[in-house]
Structures are given as structure tokens and as C-alpha cells.
Amino acid sequence: MMNAEQYIDSLRRIKHRVFMFGENVDNIVDHPMIRPSINAVAKTYELAHNPVHENLLAADSNLNGKRINRFTHLHQGADDLINKVKMQRLLGQKTAACFQRCVGMDAFNAVDSVTYEMERDLNLEYHRWFRRFLLDIQEKDFVVEGAMTDPKGDRSLRPSKQADPDLFLRIVSREKDGIVVRGAKAHQTGALSAHEILVMPTMAMDEEDAAYAVCFAVPSGTEGITCIYGRQSCDTRKMEGTEIDVGNCRYGGHECLVVFDDLFVPWERVFMCGEYRYTGALVERFAGYHRQSYGGCKVGVGDVLIGAAALAAEYNGAAKASHIRDKLIEMIHLNETLYACGIACSSQGKATASGTYLIDMLLANVCKQNVTRFPYEIARLAEDIAGGLMVTLPSEKDYRHPEIGKYIEKYLKGTAEVPTEQRMRVMRLIENITLGTAAVGYRTESMHGAGSPQAQRIMIGRQADLEQKKSLARIIAGIVD
């Protein structure tokens, strides 16, 4: 397993084509806006070498028998699924940000079981190719970015009916040695922190959209891939060279629009090519795993936010007020409910035909549906407790100013024993998670990441056996049809 330094060094060897603010970024590793997200991924390497957390961050590979980072592991039992959620909560607590590496892990597990079924049913080599690819990833301990979301253009039209056929990523030609693909993936979490990219179809395809049924992996610096960096609220504060105003200056997450411009993919890295009947299973399983993931990572960030709100109350001298205590209890209740869902869908996991474990799909969808709501309520309560200062606070440069800094020190003090700087730091942290760069992960991603709320409602409707519930009611009520 790589350690954090080796991981960061390994990124220096990748030649990404990246644009930010209309300019090409040459050095992503030392870029002040990008580095915090690399630090967040580095935490997944660091903790794998920490004897206290090793049991969560590492696992025994079923492919080579070696100790590997759990982020490259195929879940071999319900315990693995539970440990995954616990690991994500821990990393959320340590980074208060998106640590980006889960998308690839969720993609491996989904692609593994689906390619097994394709190879079994269709006598194709996809599963063998995929396992060879994954073994290499485990041995190199690489980060793989899972890529599912296509731009999708006009939502009322199928992929092949779009005015521009590239609005869904597609196969443009099949060659002797591989395929050529064109299209884009949007909202790509951790695009610049990853060594490889694993592309999947964005939804269930039918026969006329078979050219869009494609799954493959390529190194993320491959020629033909362009990353366009996504803006986040308050992102340029990271370029100001100050610490307090950023709120969380060490860790962050990022997303990119990733464009694939007639990219060649060799056959041994292609895991689906036109087999549209398997797209539905792949999308559902990947989404299911990622909906489970949110029962871990969002809970960990929630822990930090609840802690920050409690500190803000203390610094304001309001900690003993009964309504404040009640609000903190409500935040904890909501946060632990999300965790309970993450653990529940894991504990009820079952083996797929490939041996890789899959979560309980109904409970995973219930988990994510709650994630589309509870972090918003937790954020609302945190803002309530913090007070308006979290959005009207002067800058750190004013606080450090030789002439006026003393006014901030004097007039923005809360309780006498707490230095004003501590109060400023905690206000900025709450601002960062609820409104700033980390709000991408804690709020909007809670809504739309791993599928928007309606996607879970469709799955809940499909997974719940309403007929069986009706028959239960008939028996109790003594209704004879």
C-alpha cells in the first residue's frame, strides 16, 4: 500500500490536460485551489498505515491474498460492507470534505458483478479483463475515478434522439485493437486526484441506444481527455494566502467536466461494448453502492458540523440554553439516522453470482432519500445556533491589521475567556460546510449525488413489495377476495 507522500508524488507523474479560469494548469499538485482535495484523498492512504484505523482502511484481497487499501477492494461479506461505511464516516470526520475515492470503489464492485454475469451469459471476456485491470489497481494502490453522469442534453429525449449525439458518451468506431469513444462526463468527483478513470453508462439503454452502452477504463492523463475545473462557492479564498477565511484550509473536494475527444481504448480495457441489456443492472448497482456510501461520508462531515455548532454555542455563551441543547440533540438524531441506514443496508447485503457482495437495494435507496433531506436540516440548525456572524465576519487580513485588528478582537468577542480568533475560526468552518466550498459535498451533493431524489423514489417503489403488504392487511382485516 502506498503512503500519503508516495500518493502525492505519484500524481506529479500524471500529465493531465486541465483548465481553470481560462488557463491551462501545469502543476495541479501544488495549486492552492486543488491541493486541499489531494490532501483529502491522501488521508485514505495515511490512515491505512495507522495501526488504530488499519482494520477499516485495509482489507485482504480476494484476488491476490495481499493486504490492500479498502478503496480497491471487492466486498467479500456483509462485514466488508459495514466496514466500508465506518471507514467513510471516519474519513468524513477527519477531512470534513469529500475524499473522492469512494466513486471508484463503488464502480469496481458494480462492474465486477455485472461483467461476471455478462461473461457467464454471453461468453465474452469482459470479466477476465476487468479482474486483470483491478488486480493491477490493487497492486499499484491507485485511485480510480468512477464516471457515470453524462451531460444528457434534452431530458425528454433518448441518447440517440438528441440534437447532438455526443451529449451521451458513445462508441464512435470499433477497431481491430479497441474502440474509439466520444462524449463527456459531468460533475466528475476527484478527476485530478485519480490515476485512472472507469467510465460507465449513465442509464439503462435500449437497442437503438446500444452505441451508448459502453464501459471502459483509461489512465486519467491519456491524450484526448480534457478536464475543466468546476467552480465552488468561495473557492478563490484558497488563493488569498490566509487560513481562517477558508474555514477548512487543509481539505476539500473538487469536480470537473471531463471531455473525451475521440479517445482510443484498447480491448483489454473495455468491459461493455453495446450489450445494452446489462446497462440497467450496472447503473442500479453502482447507484446502490454510492447511496450506501452517503450513509458514511455525510455522517462524518455531519459530526464535524454538529461539533462546530456546539463550539459556536459555547463561544457565544449560549451552550446552556435549553433550546440550543435540544437543537444539538435533533442534529445528532438526524445524523445517526443516516448512519443507521448506511449500516442497515450493509448488514443485509448478499453475495452476487461473482461472489462480490451487494447491499440491500431498498435500504440503500431509503438511506440516500434521507440524505437528500437531513443534511439540509442539520445545516439549518447549525446556522440557527451559530448566528449571523458566520456570514458577516470581516476577513482575516482585517483581523491581523495593525490598526483595526484590535476593534475586531474587542467587539467580536463572545464569552470573555475565549479568544476572538477561536470564535472566528469556528464561524468560518460552519460557513464552509453550509455555504462555502464544502457545501458542494454536504448540501447539493446530498441532493443530487448518486442520483437525484426522484431516482431513489422510483427504486423504492420498485423494491418494496406492495402486493405482499396488501395481503398482510387482508389477512388481519379478515377480507376474503
Return residues touching ligand SF4 (CB under 6 A). 98-100, 102-103, 189, 293-294, 297, 441, 445, 449
Which helix (H) or strand (E) segment holds residue 199: the answer is strand 196-199
List 75, 95, 102, 256, catalytic entry: 102
List 251, 290, 352, 372, catalytic entry: 290
Exposure string of 149-181, with b = 16+ CB inside 10 Å and e = fewer, is bbbebeeeeebeeeeebbbbbbbeeeeeebbbb
Cell of 92: 468524513
Identify which of 296, 309, 297 has the alpha carbon closest to the alpha carbon of residue 379: 309
Strands 196-199 and 67-69: unpaired
- Tell me, yes or no, if 98 is annotated catalytic: yes
Least CB distance from residue 7 to ligand SF4, whole Å? Answer: 16
Binding footprint of Fe ion, residue count (CB under 5 A)? 1
In 141-273, alpha helices (H): none
- Residue 374 partner contact from Fe ion, ligand SF4, none using kind-dependent CB cut-offs of 5 to 8 Å: none
Identify which of 13, 42, 50, 43 has the alpha carbon closest to the alpha carbon of residue 28: 13
Q: Which is nearer to ligand SF4, 168 or 251 (CB)?
A: 251
Cell of 257: 467536466
Least CB distance from residue 92 to ligand SF4, whole Å? Answer: 7
List 16, 98, 127, 315, catalytic entry: 98
- Residue 297 partner contact from Fe ion, ligand SF4, none using kind-dependent CB cut-offs of 5 to 8 Å: ligand SF4
Q: Which is nearer to Fe ion, 436 or 449 (CB)?
A: 449
What's the rounded Cα separation, in Å, for the pair 62 and 110? 16
Sheet with 23-24, edge to edge strand ranges = 23-24, 18-20, 225-229, 255-266, 178-189, 170-174
Least CB distance from residue 294 to Fe ion, whole Å? Answer: 7
Cell of 458: 422510483
Q: Are 47 and 95 in contact (CB under 8 A)?
A: no
449 touches Fe ion by CB under 5 A: yes
- Tell me, yes or no, if 49 is annotated catalytic: no
- Tell me, yes or no, if 290 is annotated catalytic: yes
What's the rounded Cα separation, in Å, for the pair 42 and 252? 11
Q: Which is nearer to ligand SF4, 58 or 85 (CB)?
A: 85
Segment interacting with Fe ion, rule: CB under 5 A, options 27-35, 37-45, 395-403, 448-456: 448-456
Q: Are 442 and 298 in contact (CB under 8 A)?
A: yes
- Residue 225 partner contact from ligand SF4, Fe ion, none using kind-dependent CB cut-offs of 5 to 8 Å: none
Q: Which is nearer to ligand SF4, 98 or 305 (CB)?
A: 98
342 touches Fe ion by CB under 5 A: no
- Tell me, yes or no, if 102 is annotated catalytic: yes
Least CB distance from residue 476 to ligand SF4, whole Å? Answer: 41
Phi, psi dihedrals of residue 45, rounded to the nearest 5°: -85, -45
Least CB distance from residue 415 to Fe ion, whole Å? Answer: 38
Q: Which is nearer to ligand SF4, 196 or 445 (CB)?
A: 445
Exposure string of 407-429, with b = 16+ CB inside 10 Å and e = fewer, is ebeeebebeeebebeebbbbbbb
Sign of CA dihedral 24, 27, 28, 33: negative
List 95, 149, 189, 352, catalytic entry: 189
Least CB distance from residue 49 to ligand SF4, whole Å? Answer: 20
Which residue number has the CB closest to Fe ion? 449
Q: Are 143 and 71 in contact (CB under 8 A)?
A: yes
Query: Any bridge partners for residue 198, and if so which?
Result: 146, 217
Q: Which is nearer to ligand SF4, 71 or 116 (CB)?
A: 71
Q: Which is nearer to Fe ion, 247 or 449 (CB)?
A: 449
Phi, psi dihedrals of residue 213, rounded to the nearest 5°: -90, 85
List 215, 297, 345, 367, catalytic entry: 297
- Residue 441 partner contact from Fe ion, ligand SF4, none using kind-dependent CB cut-offs of 5 to 8 Å: ligand SF4
Identify which of 261, 228, 259, 346 has the alpha carbon closest to the alpha carbon of residue 296: 346
- Tell me, yes or no, if 195 is annotated catalytic: no
- Tell me, yes or no, if 255 is annotated catalytic: yes
- Tell me, yes or no, if 242 is annotated catalytic: no
What's the rounded Cα separation, in Å, for the pair 368 and 85? 13
Least CB distance from residue 280 to ligand SF4, whole Å? Answer: 22
- Residue 210 partner contact from ligand SF4, Fe ion, none using kind-dependent CB cut-offs of 5 to 8 Å: none
Least CB distance from residue 189 to Fe ion, whole Å? Answer: 5
Segment interacting with Fe ion, rule: CB under 5 A, options 29-37, 83-91, 230-238, 442-450: 442-450
Q: Which is nearer to Fe ion, 289 or 399 (CB)?
A: 289
- Residue with C-alpha cell 458518451? 169
For the annotated catalytic residues, the residue numbers are 98, 102, 189, 255, 290, 294, 297, 445
Positions that interact with Fe ion (CB under 5 A): 449
